[in-house]
Chain A
Amino acid sequence: MIRFTIRSLFAHGRRASMTALAVVLGVSMITGTLVFTDTIDAAFRDLFGSSAHGAAVVVSSRQEIASQNGAPASLPASLTGRIRRLPGVSAAAAQISDTATIVGSDGRVLKTAGLPTLALSDLPAPFTGLDFVAGTHPHGADQVAIDAGTAAREHLRVGDLVSIVTDQPARRFRVSGIVKLGATSLGAATVTVFDLGTARALYGKQGLADTIYVAADHGVAPRTLLGEIRPLLTPQFVARSAAASTAANANRISAELTLLTGGLLAFGVVAVLVGAFVIFNTFSITVAQRVREFSVLRALGAMRRQVLVSVLAEATMIGVLGSLVGLAGGLLAALLIHAVLSSAGLDLPSTGLVLRVRTVLVGAGVGVLVTLVAGVLPAARATRAAPLETLRESTAAHLGRAERWIRVIVAAALVGGGLAVVFTGSGTSSARLERSAIGAVPVILAVVVLGPLLVGALAGVVSWPVERGDRVVAQLARQNAGRNPARTAISASSLVIGLTLVLFVTIYASAVRDSTRQIIRRSVIGDLTIQSQNGQSPIPATATQAATGVPGLLAVSGLKSAPARLAATGDVTVEAIDPTTIAQVYRFDWVSGSAATLQNFAPGQALVEQNTARAAHLAVGDHTTLVTETGLRVPLTVAGIYSDRALLRGITLTRTQFDQDFDQPRLQDIFIKLTPGANVAAAESALSQALSAFPGVVVRSGHQLASQVASRVNSILILFYALLVLTVVMALLGIVNTLNLSIYERTRELGVLRAMGMTANQARVLIRNEGMITSVIGALVGTALGVFLAWVVIRSLSSEGLVFSPPWLQVVGVFAVGLLAGMLASVPPARRAARLDVLGAIAHE
């Protein structure tokens, strides 16, 4: 039988290769996702690993909380000298690390898509974390070294002048050298290097160090040094071996990227699902084609088991081969994802592609397993019939009455279960969102289960418009599509999944944007806001002084922000307000509290956003403890609870308290109220003028602020779209494959039609119509499902101010794109059908 299997594989090379293609596609998607995430992870590890080159021990402040905008506490520089004098230490050097933005040739700060904009001080030998590839180390107050990637993008060479914003207003520096960190490309991240004295001056860190690198004498273990250094440190600082420090830094960055990796993982799951559909569909078609072959084998005396084993063996071979090619394809897919993201403005650091054993196991495992299931299920069904019964030519699967009922019941159960998960219980909005996502899965599955029934019902409706053209061709197409509803349904379902997700994300994001805009319009009563270009990076405190000089300002209220952890629940954002001025620029939406709460707001007290309060079970008067980035514990009493999902989203403290416990000199936003009757436009331009020394710091009107905050959702959207587009592309390749196979399966039928006088063009239209019916069904169901899921989820979050008002234009656009793409997918198979050789086709078995 094994010989038969191999012969059969070779004899039907085309069929086998199409099945294998489906496996390749599925496995490529899965491995592509995994390779991509692993590569980014490795890139960050390499980046941080390289910074500790030459060091045995690294001393830094404790960083308990993953955040990009946090400002770790600095060490006293005197520590460097004390460490240097310890036995076994050959060298110790202080480093300043902070952030600096580079101003491009167009006068605007470089966009880094949220990636780090590091400012580092140079290190003396033997510390070689910074690898100078051109020029020399920076010396003196006017010199800077920049990373090779930025230099290449901005066409900067040694000796050129470049404008950089540090904690000080923008200033020109001369490029003394070009540096690299490790073997990694930084992507859109930037690195600027100053000498130690300059860095201290720029950041006001005289007598301080952010990191101390320690090198050991020959033969002295890092452990020994750690034992000596640790007693010298106060609790907010920590000494680690170089390896441990690298790992800690990389983990911190990985945690920051959880949104990205989480999205990619979700995409991976979708990839597995769509890939599995494609494989399953393709294999069930090829097995259905061979029912006759099986019958002959059975008639010749093959046991049912033997036939099944033969299919199993064939599926294994195709699965393994397809998976191997798919792994290679996955490497390409990873490059593709990177390219797509960087063209969308998110140029992530990268290094050589990382292919882990886990990736190979998961990718190939899914490929082989799905192929096996997909091959054996239909074969088992086919061989169950008496041998000769299936020898007769037969119409393919129409659903039996019982099967219809089973499908309806299963689907109802899935929908019921899914909705129950979505609607039961309360909790924070993120918990409810999570439940909604989990509840959505059975609902999608229900549609897949109902698919064959829907196809039957929809095929008639959908083909109505096309039947007005060449009627008979259109009717044939409809009958072909309805001939095996299960197959058409699976073929369409990959498109359904893609469109459902795209639309859900679109509608949900739009609801979030709308409600964010509304919250900001309601709560920000100041006239103007000063913040960074991206709205998220903190701005130098010196910008406040520049602003206050402008005439006509009634109130200037700065807001600071830092990450922290609430002992009971987890990470929160802490905002610091000035209680004396805040009331003039910001209106609290009190859940429990009043204007008096704000008047009496003092250090030791906290105002808590209602979601945080709900998650941490906090009520007014309760005591709680906040843990700062450096591990400091701050006891607080809840003074009031308010609602704000847009700006002050966690815990709000007084500036006095904040400055005492957090090391964040910079401001997040500065809200400004003008004197009554002042000209807003004039004040805005005066402020912009005053802030001209700070490129990257902008003045925004209330409307602009709302748009800026609302658009934060967009950066996440771009990523999702890029990935979902890939899913849709895969789904379309699946449709091409299915159509090709179904043409192959019907070769003789098409030949007969052609012999009876169907023109080549009619044959082409026939197949195109079949593809169109499939994609219209897919697009319709996908759109309906996406809108429905968005409605369910948004409803469950209505207490958050989310309102279901889909951007219909975009919905229609997405539907149209899905439809168009589906039609395009049928072009190549249709061409193949038109070119069929009539005689050969009639003789085709």
Chain B
Amino acid sequence: MVSDADGPVVVGSDLEKRYGQGAIAVHALRGVSVELARGSFTAIMGPSGSGKSTLMHLLAGLDRPTAGDVWLGLTKLTDLGDGDLTRLRRSRIGFVFQAFNLLPMLSAEENILLPLRIAGEEIDREWLEWLLVAVGLQDRRRHRPPELSGGEQQRVALARALMSRPAIVFADEPTGNLDSQAGELVLSMLRRAVDELQQTVAIVTHDPTAAAHADRILFLRDGVLVRESPRLDAAEILDVLKALR
């Protein structure tokens, strides 16, 4: 949030990820470089095993690359220890998971506030109210996850990710566990965050309809970035994917 106001939020350069050694080594990523610009909505796509989830994990500081560097603003993630990385995650990165991953014994509101409270930070009540209205859960805030539908749970997760005003929100298959209507609602909310809040968002998905909400689409295959394209509609994305296969 310093002088890099116009620079990219996240930079990954020459990222390699290898599991195992020697002959049995598996190369999940073989030298991928990406830049995610402020206020951009990026979709990372590719067939299973293409390395798209690995890329997201590296960019989000959840995993370390075998080679290459990741920058979040002016911070080089690849230099940080576990403690610093953890603190960075909680203040500057938001996550939305495919499986919602809410804590079952906490209410919707408590789940949203959890990252801030773990960090021991002040809670901005107005911001919370705004978010609750934005995700349409102002009347369900006292409910616990088991009492919410899948779509509602994912919207809680979205609000949770946005609550700390992170530099970037990563979403891993955010619609994977939802029906099309609920998925559409979640995606439109992500879109609104980008448009109205200039929130930087990156999603990993294999669903062309989901990727169609993004400004920019990265296609991976066998751990290599094979194509990059500006906004496409679902049919066009499907064609690209078919061509990649």
**Contacting residues, chain B, for A842 (C-beta < 8 A):** 62, 97, 101
**Could you tell me if A756 and B105 are in contact, using CB atoms closer than 8 angstroms?**
no
Chain A window 736-780, contacts with chain B (Cβ cutoff 8 Å), 1 for yes, 0 for no:
000000000000110011111111111000000000000000000
Q: Which stretch (B37-45, B116-124, B182-190, B232-240) binds chain A?
A: B116-124
| B192 contacts the other chain (CB 8 A) | no
The answer to whether A755 touches B117, judged by C-beta atoms less than 8 angstroms apart, is no
Is the Cβ of B105 less than 8 Å from the Cβ of A395?
Answer: yes
Expressed in whole angstroms, the Cα–Cα distance for A139 and B138 within the complex equals 102
- Give A751 Cβ to nearest chain B Cβ, in Å: 8
Q: Which residues of B contact A752 (CB under 8 A)?
A: 95, 97, 101, 103
19 contacts between A and B (CB under 8 A): A395-B104, A472-B114, A472-B118, A476-B106, A483-B104, A748-B101, A749-B103, A752-B97, A754-B86, A755-B95, A756-B160, A757-B89, A757-B115, A758-B118, A759-B83, A760-B82, A760-B83, A761-B83, A842-B97
Minimum CB–CB distance for A397 against chain B, Å: 12
Contacts A392-B146, A748-B101 given; does A757 touch B86 at CB 8 Å: yes
Docked pose: A761 CA to B84 CA in angstroms: 12
Size category of the B interface is 20 to 34
A770 to B236, alpha carbons, bound, how many Å? 52
Q: Within the complex, what minimum Cβ distance (angstroms) separates B113 from chain A?
A: 9
Could you tell me if A393 and B118 are in contact, using CB atoms closer than 8 angstroms?
Answer: no
Residues of A within 8 A of B227 (CB): none
Closest residue of A by beta carbon distance from B103: A749
> When the two chains form their complex, are residues B97 and A839 in contact, meaning their CB atoms are under 8 A apart?
no
A692 at the B interface (CB under 8 A): no
> Chain A residue with minimal CB distance to B83?
A759
Inter-subunit contact A756/B90 (CB<8 Å) = yes
Q: Contact: A757 with B87, CB < 8 Å?
A: yes
In the assembled complex, B165 has its CB within 8 A of some CB on chain A = no
Nearest chain B CB to A386's CB is how many angstroms away? 16
Cβ of A471 and Cβ of B117 under 8 Å apart? yes
Q: Contact check: which of A393, A396, A470, A482 meets B120 at CB < 8 Å?
A: A470
Docked pose: A244 CA to B115 CA in angstroms: 79
List CB contacts (< 8 Å) of A477-507 with chain B.
479-480, 482-483
- Chain B minimum-CB-distance residue to A478: B105
A748 to chain B: which residues have CB within 8 Å?
A: 99, 101
Shortest distance from the beta carbon of A472 to any chain B beta carbon, whole Å = 4
Across the interface, B57 reaches (CB within 8 A) one of A393, A470, A483, A839, namely A839
Q: Which of B63, B114, B145 contacts A756 (CB 8 A)?
A: B114
A762 pairs with B82, CB closer than 8 A:
no
A472 to B, closest residue via Cβ: B117
Bound-complex Cα distance A758 to B118 (A): 6
User: Do A757 and B82 touch across chains, with their CB atoms under 8 A apart?
Assistant: no
With a cutoff of 8 Å between Cβ atoms, the chain A residues found around residue B87 in the complex are 757, 759
In the complex with contacts A393-B145, A838-B62, A839-B63, A760-B86 CB distance below 8 A: yes
Which of A472, A473, A476, A839 is in CB contact (< 8 Å) with B62?
A839
Residues of B within 8 A of A394 (CB): 104, 146
Task: Tell yes or no: B27 within 8 A of A by CB.
Answer: no
- Asked whether, in the complex, the Cβ of A757 is within 8 Å of the Cβ of B63, the reply is no
Tell me whether A762 and B97 are in contact (CB under 8 A): no
Residues of chain A whose beta carbon lies under 8 Å from any beta carbon of chain B: 392-396, 470-473, 476, 479-480, 482-483, 748-749, 752-762, 838-839, 842
Other A-B contacts than A756-B118, A757-B87, 6 sampled, CB-CB below 8 A, are: A472-B118, A476-B106, A483-B105, A755-B62, A757-B91, A838-B62
Question: Once the chains are docked, how many angstroms separate the CA of A471 from the CA of B104?
Answer: 19
* Interface flag for B231 (CB, 8 Å): no
Q: Residue on A with the closest CB to B84?
A: A759
Interface members, chain B 105-153 (any A CB < 8 Å):
105-106, 114-115, 117-120, 144-146
Dominant SS at the A interface?
helix
Min Cβ gap B120→A in Å is 7
With both beta carbons as reference points, the residue of chain A lying nearest to B100 in the complex is identified as: A393
- Are B63 and A753 touching (Cβ within 8 A)? no
Residue pair A395, B144 in contact (C-beta under 8 Å): yes
Bound-state Cα–Cα, A58 to B74, Å: 98
Find chain B residues with CB under 8 A from A476 CB.
103, 106
In the assembly, what is the distance between CA of A471 and CA of B89, in Å?
20
Which B residues are within 8 Å of any A CB, using their own CB?
A: 57, 62-63, 82-83, 86-87, 89-91, 95, 97, 99-101, 103-106, 114-115, 117-120, 144-146, 160
Q: Identify which of B83, B114, B146 contacts A393 (C-beta below 8 A).
A: B146
Q: Which residues of A contact B120 (CB under 8 A)?
A: 470, 472
A296 to chain B, nearest CB (A): 16
B105 to A480, Cβ gap below 8 A? Answer: yes
7 smallest beta-carbon distances between A and B, as pairs: A757-B90, A472-B117, A752-B101, A395-B104, A479-B105, A756-B115, A757-B89
Residues of A within 8 A of B95 (CB): 752, 755-756
A395 neighbours in B (Cβ, 8 Å): 104-105, 144-146
A479–B115 Cα distance when bound, in Å, is: 16
Complex Cα distance, B222 from A289, in Å, reads: 36
Would you call A758 and B105 a contact (CB within 8 A)?
A: no
Q: Which of A392, A483, A754, A756 has the largest count of B CB atoms less than 10 A from its CB?
A: A756
With a cutoff of 8 Å between Cβ atoms, the chain B residues found around residue A472 in the complex are 114, 117-118, 120
* Complex Cα–Cα for A376 and B101 (A): 30
* Contact call B101/A759, Cβ cutoff below 8 A: no
CB distance from A32 to the nearest CB of B (A): 39
On whether the beta carbons of A757 and B57 are closer than 8 Å, the reply is no
- B172's nearest neighbour on chain A, judged by CB, is A842
Which residues of chain B have C-beta atoms less than 8 A from A470's C-beta?
A: 120
Residues on A with C-beta less than 8 A from B62 are: 755, 838-839, 842
A residues in contact with B160, CB < 8 Å: 756
CB distance from B156 to the nearest CB of A (A): 13
Closest beta carbon of chain A to B58's beta carbon, Å: 10
How far, in Å, is B63 (CB) from chain A's closest CB? 5
Closest CB in chain B relative to A830 CB, distance in Å: 16
User: Do B119 and A757 touch (CB < 8 A)?
Assistant: yes
- Knowing A392-B146, A470-B120, A472-B117 touch, does A756 contact B89 (C-beta < 8 A)? yes
B51 to chain A: closest CB distance in Å? 14
What residue in chain B is nearest A470 (Cβ atoms)? B120
Give the residues in chain B near A471, CB-CB below 8 Å: 117
Nearest CB of chain A from residue B181's CB, rounded to whole Å:
19
Within 8 Å CB of B115, what residues of A? Answer: 756-757
Contact A757 B118 (CB under 8 A): yes
Distance in angstroms from A733 CB to nearest chain B CB is 27
- Bound Cα distance from A839 to B170, whole angstroms: 14
Q: Which residues of B contact A749 (CB under 8 A)?
A: 101, 103
CB distance from A759 to the nearest CB of B (A): 5
**Cβ of A703 to closest chain B Cβ, rounded Å:** 60
The residue in A471, A482, A759, A762 that gathers the most chain B C-beta atoms within 10 A of its C-beta is A759
B46 smallest CB distance to A (angstroms)? 18
Chain B positions within 8 Å of A758 at CB level: 86, 90, 118
Measured between beta carbons, the chain B residues less than 8 angstroms from A396 are 104
B contact residues around A756 at 8 Å (CB): 89-90, 95, 114-115, 118, 160
From A766, which residue of chain B is reached at the shortest CB distance?
A: B118
Give the residue among B118, B144, B146, B160 with the most A Cβ atoms within 10 A: B118
Q: Which residues of A contact B57 (CB under 8 A)?
A: 839
Give CA–CA (A471, B87) in the complex, Å: 17
- A342 nearest CB across to chain B (Å): 49
Q: Which residue on chain B has the smallest CB distance to residue A395? A: B104
Cα distance A761–B118 when bound, in Å? 11
Q: Are A762 and B146 in contact (CB under 8 A)?
A: no
A399 to chain B, nearest CB (A): 14
Bound: A476/B89 CA distance, A: 20
Residues of A within 8 A of B103 (CB): 476, 749, 752-753
* Nearest CB in chain B: distance from A478 CB, A: 10
